[in-house]
Structure 1
Amino acid sequence: MTVSEEKRALRRICAATRSGIPEAEKATADKALCDCIAAHPAFREADLLLVFSAVRGEPELRPLYERALALGKALAFPVCVGQEMTFHTVDSLDTLRPGRFGILAPPADAPLAYPTARTLCLMPGLAAGRDGTRLGYGGGFYDRFLDTFPGICVFPIYECLLFPTLPTEETDHRVAHIVTEKGELKHRA
């Protein structure tokens, strides 16, 4: 089995595992994830957060996003055009509308975000390895984005989707900070 085939099979397993998390357990875990990220030094120091809209059972971090806006931090969501992903800022979560793949996205005229070393990127995905490996959805959008991203990445994931390691390919980026509802794991990315 090739690495691509392994990853494809693992994506199916992880998606099924995540969709099987009971709603009450998921709500408790989501709150714990928000609290853990809010306490993270990278969140406290960030002036810009690159975030995602939760889909298909991903952690719901909306309370964290509202907190960031209340603290005066800029908030930006991804927009994918072709194989490129850019982030665009919003002043309110109410401006988000269904975009590509049906995922809530900023309006077409939303300003482009310009990440710096003080930018925190929260990445979506299906699973994480304790060694910093990450399993995304297979499009490579975040891996390409991370090639030039100057800030800090945090990958919020449910503890039940944490493995010792995950299959990787040459283009896959490791993440330095993985946060679960039970706390943070740090790695050298």
Structure 2
Amino acid sequence: MTPPSAPDASKAGWRTWAREVRSGLPDYSAKITAHLAAFLHSRGARRVLAYRALPGEPDVGALAREFELLAPRARFRPEPHLTLHPWETATEPSRFGALQPPANAPRVLLDAVEAVLLPALAFDHSGVRLGYGGGFYDRLLPGFAGLAVGVIAEALVVPALPAEAHDLRVGFLVTERGVRRVDATTSSKL
């Protein structure tokens, strides 16, 4: 399937495209996780906010053997936000379908995290993330000083995505081909 090409292609259009492409991809989890482990070790990261994979997302759970992983819990009151918890506490299904920690799981502050691994439907060359539309990571990460790493299959990295001022950009992308720093000077469609 060809990606949307019009300058005014909506995020919804991109999400439809990405879901269709993703449904036909092989599982690159092992390759991506190997690249992630080497990269995180090279940067001295120990405590990492990861994610419990949804179908089609690279599963990064194997990193728990080498790093202290944290799992997010989506909360909806007073406004949508994420809280961080020990990885092994993610035992209940979320409304999105991924495992998450229960409401009473011990919390960890973002200040204690050295790297955040972000899933997405797509990323662009400037690090713009096309998420699922909830804005959870966009609200969590402003001002985060650690590594923000996009985790995605190479087929879902595109030249430019529509972006708004609040949309998160990552500093690095990790795909089955390896790790690369994004070109933050490349402009996305605003």
Instruction: Provide the TM-score with structure 2 as the length reference.
Output: 0.83
More helix per residue: 1 or 2? Answer: 1
Q: Which residue of 2 aligns with 1:142?
A: 137
Cα deviation, residue 99, structure 1: 2.4
Deviations 1:138-177 (A, max 9, x none): 1111111111423211111001101111110111121101
Name the count of aligned residue pairs.
176
1:106/1:58 CA distance change after superposition, 3 Å: same
Aligned residue among 1, 7, 14 for 2:11? 7
Unaligned 5+ residue runs, structure 2?
A: 1-5, 185-190
Aligned residue among 123, 126, 129 for 1:128? 123
Task: Work out whether 1:179 is the aligned partner of 2:174.
Answer: yes
Mapped partners of 1:34, 1:78: distance in 2:
19
Mapped partners of 1:116, 1:108: distance in 2:
20
Mapped partners of 2:7, 2:181: distance in 1:
29
Aligned residue among 71, 79, 82 for 2:73? 79
Instruction: Provide the TM-score with structure 1 as the length reference.
Output: 0.83
Query: Please, which moves more after superposition, 54-63 or 155-164?
Result: 54-63
Cα deviation, residue 128, structure 1: 0.9
Deviations 1:83-114 (A, max 9, x none): 11111113x37x52212323201133221112
Amino acid of the residue matched to residue 83 of structure 2?
A: T
Query: Please, which moves more after superposition, 178-187 or 110-119?
Result: 110-119
Percent identity between matched residues is 38
Mapped partners of 1:2, 1:187: distance in 2:
21
Amino acid of the residue matched to residue 114 of structure 1?
A: L
Mapped partners of 1:87, 1:129: distance in 2:
26
Amino acid of the residue matched to residue 24 of structure 2?
A: G
Query: Please, which moves more after superposition, 50-59 or 108-117?
Result: 108-117
Mapped partners of 1:108, 1:86: distance in 2:
9
Q: Which residue of 1 aligns with 2:48?
A: 49
Mapped partners of 2:57, 2:111: distance in 1:
26
Alpha-carbon RMSD across the aligned residues, in angstroms, is 2.2
Q: Which of structure 1's runs of 4+ aligned residues deviate more than 2 A? A: 41-44, 99-102, 115-118
Secondary structure of 2:155's match? Answer: helix
Amino acid of the residue matched to residue 72 of structure 2?
A: P
Cα deviation, residue 62, structure 1: 1.8
